[in-house]
A and B are shown apart, each in its own frame.
Chain A
């Protein structure tokens, strides 16, 4: 029994002195990689349009907000994508990181119902498409969707078809658009 008594006191000491931490208010985490905003800047000789999708609470319950003005027919726009984290101030531009790691990323485009074609322009270090800049050519007036998909680690090179290119989707935004005079 002496052993036991000795052990108990030993353990109690250990238990009381070490390793018992008190709960303190933790620091707030602002997710750095969070993309809250996609900005699509379209510029032609005669027109300038900005499409924008903003979802400030990320995976939270609030719905995102679209801004999708009309496009002009028979126009070639040069386009540029920007990925922003606007939950921080000032907003963080995540496009820079994506362009730095161009080999691991690619933007895919899907056009549905719109009389338009879209082609990627910029490339990664291996000469394969990255697609954060592109060219959009509109034809006759029409209505439909334009989807931008940012994939992490797709199979490269690929034929630009998101259904077969693999990888994990980091961003997917569908704009409802109108091409009209």
Chain B
């Protein structure tokens, strides 16, 4: 029974309704229909309907409806496709005016033959935005990876990392607070401002991950000027069953082991439950020449979901707990700039050790608890009303190398609590119109534990956030559509912050913000900054079909992002970067105007997608070196957050070509050009040009073998932030070259996926096949060590 459940996709039913008609005319016949989800009859938007005989394609609207016009008498084969569903071929004899169809597509439990990245740019999230998606199969085949590493398989997406176990996604050159991550309908609030703070979610909880390259999906928020990552859970069928799967595996590099299991229970009456858990432990990883001391890490995750759904309403609750302990490369624990000088001029870390599973200081221990309750109701068949409450608690501990009694006390201990309540209404399309609207209230509290005995990096604060939006979309006769959205947000931020008296005066705050002062002690000033950020975001989009297989989507969005706590309040030494970082209380919001376009052509054997973008950002907030200061700890560069006018433009390309029935070639290309227009120099940390190619061989049983090539260029556009320090030993001023970028590199990889039986499969991946030594511009550890050498990952998956 489970076999049928898991490995064959059931087509629950096909229903043909015929409307009798007396006259049969030539070539003005039509087929009308609706595509629905077989489980709960919800209409499936953006399903493609292809007539195989003449290659004509149309798409279903938000009510799932589609229309094929001006057809001649005869027999046609219709081919229905929808993301997450098994495609369906359907033959129809056309001999009367109008033929009406109801097509039921079943969402996969396991999408065996789906491609890694869907190539359509205008899927469900918004009508005109540029979107790409990673499907269930790809996520399961990469069960041990982090979110950023999985989404960086999409063109235009790269990852910003701190060592091998901390990485966060960059979309079209932007990251951190500019990229919103929505996990199972909940916007992640996990101190995302820090470049060494990875998103606290386990990819194994997601069934698909969509990247929206822009802020146009206003229903999630107005400040994602880089883009949005949406991780969505799997859909569970309305039937009586219980099934599960486990993935176990190992990675040679770091001698890692990982396991992920999920158990799903469902009833025909709409009761559903899922329990999922995963664990990974990795020791010190290895470059081609040496072990990276203290790069070991451990990740745990537990999630549970329970829901009661019917066709018209439902209630569900979701819980997830993620815990990570991540070692930070020992060699990166440095003191002053002379240590940085030594690291930069050595080809490897000064201290090398043998392999170990031990995670010592410096390390991060982060846990994240997420709780969500949501309910929906279909209102008079006109739309869907959704109510959601979510609670998140993020606790971050960072341990440093300390002395004496402080040895086992974290140097940073932050608890971020967030709660939000939202009400949304999504209408179905009627007379071409569709709209979405909603309102959101959010409360956030940050607590910085004083027991650390270290100055607070992020102060205690309360943030209240209210938002309201409306998005309307109008579809014309020819299926082209316009989209228009507006969103208003209001943020109120109240904080208590201690400043060193010297800093408070040096920054001129004693003149500018004397109102904020609560009390003063001998060397510190207690202040209570109260800041408000109202913002209006607007989006306008258009999408059209030219001929049967060419589409255009274009979107322009103006969005605003309020400065984050690090940008406002930073004031002190950032240990891992060996620099002093200063925020600025007087910052405005960033305002981005982004134009993104996707032109796509798709035929049976070829698909091509070209996605240019242009993003102009006023008051762009970034760190720039201000001066070099000499302290008792040595020389340090002082970096201050500044605002400038920034311009980013670039191009993403995806190409896929079926060479034969079993051989497929695909390639991706991403390029970003970013400039600080005020200073007329390049922006720092912009991903270099990247070009990926893949050749894969597959048979009809789903077995797959492939070779991958990944070329990453040298970033030739970078600002010169170098500085000089005096080194008495050499009696010389020495240049500290922190700006130069690493050489270009090329990596090869292999992968094989074998279906051992209907229940089990084996995947093998080899990364960095040739064991190439290289450094990555977007890894903060590039000053200290090479990247990981060859890694072989073997994983076995079993369904039950």
Contact = CB atoms under 8 A, between A and B. Distances in A.
B521 interface: yes
B402 interface: yes
A157 interface: no
Of listed B349, B633, B636, residue having the most chain A CB within 10 A: B633
Interface in B427-474: 443, 445, 447-448, 450, 452-456, 459-462
Nearest to B574: A59
B19 to A, nearest CB: 35
Given A7-B387, A61-B503, A61-B629, A20 B403 contact: no
Nearest to A83: B632
B102 interface: no
Given A36-B632, A145-B728, A147-B728, A31 B315 contact: no
B8 interface: no
A60 to B, nearest CB: 4
Contacts of A153: 333, 351, 401
Given A169-B336, A169-B634, 4 more contacts: A21-B462, A166-B350, A166-B351, A168-B334
B406 interface: yes
B663 interface: no
A98 interface: yes
B588 to A, nearest CB: 24
11 contacts: A3-B377, A21-B417, A21-B447, A23-B461, A29-B454, A33-B403, A58-B632, A94-B404, A112-B728, A168-B335, A168-B401
A27 interface: yes
A61 B523 CA distance: 13
Interface string B122-144: 00000000000000000000000
Interface of B: 313, 315, 333-336, 338-339, 342, 349-351, 373, 375, 377, 385, 387, 389, 391, 401-404, 406, 417, 419, 421, 443, 445, 447-448, 450, 452-456, 459-462, 494-496, 498, 500-503, 506, 518, 521, 523-524, 526, 528, 572-573, 580, 629-636, 726, 728-729, 731
A97 to B, nearest CB: 4
Nearest to A172: B634
B402 A33 contact: yes
A13 to B, nearest CB: 11
Given A4-B377, A23-B445, A168-B335, A29 B523 contact: no
B375 A7 contact: yes
Contact of A31 (B417, B454, B518, B580): B454
A57 B634 CA distance: 14
A29 to B, nearest CB: 5
Which of the listed residues A20, A60, A173 has the most CB atoms from chain B within 10 Å of its own CB? Answer: A60
A26 interface: yes
Contacts of A137: none
Nearest to B460: A26
Contacts of B447: 21
A15 B389 contact: yes
Given A28-B521, A61-B506, A11 B630 contact: no
Nearest to A21: B445
Given A26-B448, A60-B503, A112-B728, A173 B632 contact: yes
Contact of A29 (B336, B342, B498): B498
A127 to B, nearest CB: 20
Nearest to A10: B373
B498 to A, nearest CB: 6
A151 to B, nearest CB: 8
B313 A3 contact: yes
Contact of A62 (B351, B502, B726): B502
B350 A64 contact: no
Given A8-B387, A61-B502, A31 B455 contact: yes
Interface in A13-67: 14-15, 19-29, 31-33, 35-38, 53, 55-64
B632 A25 contact: no
Given A28-B521, A58-B631, A4 B402 contact: no
Which of B445, B447, B452, B523: most chain A Cβ within 10 A?
A: B523
Given A60-B503, A166-B350, A166-B351, A29 B455 contact: yes
A38 B631 CA distance: 12
Contacts of B450: 26-27, 29
A3 to B, nearest CB: 6
A35 B632 contact: yes
Contacts of A23: 445, 460-462, 494-496
